[in-house]
Structure 1
Amino acid sequence: MTNYQTLLYYCYSPIENAEQFASEHLEFCKSLDLVGRIIVADEGLNGTVSGTPEACKAYMDAIYADGRFNHTEFKIDDVEEPSFIKMHCRYKPEIVHSGLRDPKEIDPNQQTGIHLEPKDFMAMKDREDVVILDVRSNYEHNVGRFKNAITLDIENFREFPEKVKELEQYKGKKILTYCTGGIKCEKASALLLKEGFEDVYQLHGGIIKYGKEAGGKDFEGKCYVFDNRVTVEVNSTNPVVISTCKNCGKTTPKMINCANPTCNEHFTQCDACGEELDGCCSEACMESPNKREYDGTGYYVKIPQPVNIEKISKRKHKNFAPKVESN
């Protein structure tokens, strides 16, 4: 029985006094008893909220009534319980971190890849002159991706600009970009155009919309989402599991967070290893004095954790930044 809904959306539209808007918008969401996470920036909105169908409808009506966000497209999922525990609405410099020194170098409202509806993406994706490019992070495409897609070794979308040079060999091809809901593709495709790629496209509405409107054909595995569902089914046409357990190598679709909060790694783990390691990625993490209680889901409410100097040093050495992701 589905008594709730989860809305996934974004909108690139300038917001004056965005910090004040974020504060007021948080109170509005709380007044509707919604839970979720919304990022507000001068450039627009990026959010996932969850609540009763009545509350979700009231929220969508309010977004459209605002006038600035008329081209927002909501992806709606029916769920058995709210997909978050709390409501957060925060101001940030960008609604998805581009990794550019000057984010204003690209503006999706001015230039971005050609939007392909799911049926058009499906019709183009297998052509010889086409390259399918996954612009998401490792932990996302490890659990699910399009058949024959090119993936990038990135921990966070902000690393995408550094990887564009690795795609030079595909400049003569049509580049079909995709992500979870479309927001990353807006900036990824804009950046590709800026760097001289001529035929750049993006899957409008992302993997989620493709699953709803095209049956998810040839999307292998599950789609990672940024709420307590962790992953969702997409392919109802020719589904297949591609992810494997980090610990034993057995095929499994299950993705969790390490029960050691200082580690908190996203990884795939089968139920047997989850039981044996108590939701941890390794025996070392099992020894953590702060280890969280594993309930079989591997999803935990975020709480402040002590700084892991060794982990940060490793990231700095690899030129990685701590992960703060978006849809």
Structure 2
Amino acid sequence: MSIVNIAAYKFVTLDDIATLRPALLERCQALDLKGTILLAPEGINLFLAGASESIGAFLTGLRADARFTDLEVKESLSDDQPFRRMLVRQKKEIITMKMPVIKPADGRAPGVDPATLKRWLDAGQDDEGRPVVMLDTRNDFEVDVGTFDNAVDYRLTKFSEFPDVIAAHRADFEGKTIVSFCTGGIRCEKAAIYMRDIGLEHTYQLDGGILKYFEDVGGAHYQGDCFVFDYRTALTPDLAPSTTKQCFACRAVVTAEDQRSPDYVEGQQCPACATPADASATEAASATSLAAPSA
């Protein structure tokens, strides 16, 4: 494998996006990197891929900025470049929650590292004897690719639905330790802050998300693969590309078995949307989410 893939984010106040954005784009293009960088007043979120030396040079330059010195990176390898282009985009939020009062740059919720979480799940409780509830903060199609055993899944279609759903189910978590998790940590960081704010004091975020958990302890207590927002579609617990695909027309998860169906045409349709009625209904959704990373 010759391509290094990195995922990273940091909540930090950015007030110079107008100059930072073109500078990062120029740097990535000079290093022949591809992927997406999102910039917002609340921070940075990036998924990049390229040659090892290019990734190293980019990170060295980025970390020379005092705001990003401690940027933590999740890394995996692939045989091929999983991105088609290089984008640096400005957004209102690096992950959209629509809760302006949630400001991770002002202080994050407590985190639990992967090794500690595995120990808790092995024991069936945390160090204080409370039952541990795994809370998946990702969208429904991501959860369908894989998730932790017995994880709570509210079938979210977008992260901005999370606050209302949790507020409605707040009583379900009383007396329990809650570990919010997502792909790389960004969504579960905001989620954990919100849950603490509404009085769920025993809430933690999984540091580094599923990808860091795979990196540190493998796939213990996890079923399936982890959806990623690039052309690999999903990674196995050993951080290798899986056989799972995503339909570009309807975003449905397409298993290896589904890919053998005559209704599956890569890049065009899958068994879930192959009929004319389904195809017309999903035509507007043909712009895949792979261009915009989420973690």
Shorter-normalised TM-score: what interval? 0.7 to 0.9
**1:174 is matched by which residue type in structure 2?**
T
Question: Secondary structure of the residue that 2:169 maps to in structure 1?
Answer: helix
After TM superposition, give the deviation of residue 185 of structure 1 in Å.
1.1
After TM superposition, give the deviation of residue 53 of structure 1 in Å.
0.2
1:184 — aligned with what? Answer: 187
Aligned partner (choices 255, 264, 275) of residue 245 of structure 2: 255
After TM superposition, give the deviation of residue 286 of structure 1 in Å.
8.8
State the percentage of identical aligned residues. 29
Contact 2:273 2:279 in 1 (8 A): no
Contact 1:221 1:253 in 2 (8 A): no
Question: Secondary structure of the residue that 2:106 maps to in structure 1?
Answer: coil
Scaled by the length of structure 2, the TM-score of the pair is: 0.86
Aligned ranges for residues 6-155 of structure 1 at < 5 Å?
Answer: 6-100=5-99, 103=100, 105-125=101-121, 126-127=124-125, 129-155=131-157
Aligned ranges for residues 149-298 of structure 1 at < 5 Å?
Answer: 149-164=151-166, 165-234=168-237, 254-258=244-248, 261=249, 264-271=250-257, 274-279=260-265, 280=270, 281-285=272-276
**1:107 is matched by which residue type in structure 2?**
K
Deviations 1:133-176 (A, max 9, x none): 11111011111000111111211112111211223221221111
Matches of 2:18 and 2:102 in 1, distance apart?
Answer: 22
Contact 1:257 1:267 in 2 (8 A): yes
Contact 1:118 1:209 in 2 (8 A): yes
Cα gap change, 1:253/1:78 in structure 2, threshold over 3 Å: closer, same or farther? Answer: closer
**2:2 is matched by which residue type in structure 1?**
N
Question: Secondary structure of the residue that 1:283 maps to in structure 2?
Answer: coil
Contact 1:134 1:149 in 2 (8 A): yes
Cα RMSD of the aligned pairs, angstroms, is: 2.5
How many aligned residue pairs are there? Answer: 276
Cα gap change, 1:91/1:52 in structure 2, threshold over 3 Å: closer, same or farther? Answer: same
Matches of 1:25 and 1:91 in 2, distance apart?
Answer: 12
Q: Which runs of 5 or more structure 1 residues have no equivalent in the other structure?
A: 237-251, 290-304, 312-322
Contact 2:138 2:159 in 1 (8 A): yes
Question: Secondary structure of the residue that 1:25 maps to in structure 2?
Answer: helix
Cα gap change, 1:269/1:215 in structure 2, threshold over 3 Å: closer, same or farther? Answer: closer
**2:203 is matched by which residue type in structure 1?**
V
Contact 2:46 2:293 in 1 (8 A): no
After TM superposition, give the deviation of residue 197 of structure 1 in Å.
0.7
After TM superposition, give the deviation of residue 306 of structure 1 in Å.
7.3
Question: Secondary structure of the residue that 1:77 maps to in structure 2?
Answer: strand
Scaled by the length of structure 1, the TM-score of the pair is: 0.78
**2:264 is matched by which residue type in structure 1?**
D
Matches of 2:283 and 2:263 in 1, distance apart?
Answer: 22
After TM superposition, give the deviation of residue 307 of structure 1 in Å.
4.7
**1:190 is matched by which residue type in structure 2?**
I
Pick 1 or 2: higher relative contact order, CA cutoff 8 A, min separation 6: 2
After TM superposition, give the deviation of residue 17 of structure 1 in Å.
2.1
2:294 — aligned with what? Answer: 326
After TM superposition, give the deviation of residue 268 of structure 1 in Å.
2.9
After TM superposition, give the deviation of residue 99 of structure 1 in Å.
2.9
Deviations 1:110-144 (A, max 9, x none): 34321111101111232152211111110111110
Q: Which runs of 5 or more structure 2 residues have no equivalent in the other structure?
A: none
Question: Secondary structure of the residue that 2:119 maps to in structure 1?
Answer: helix
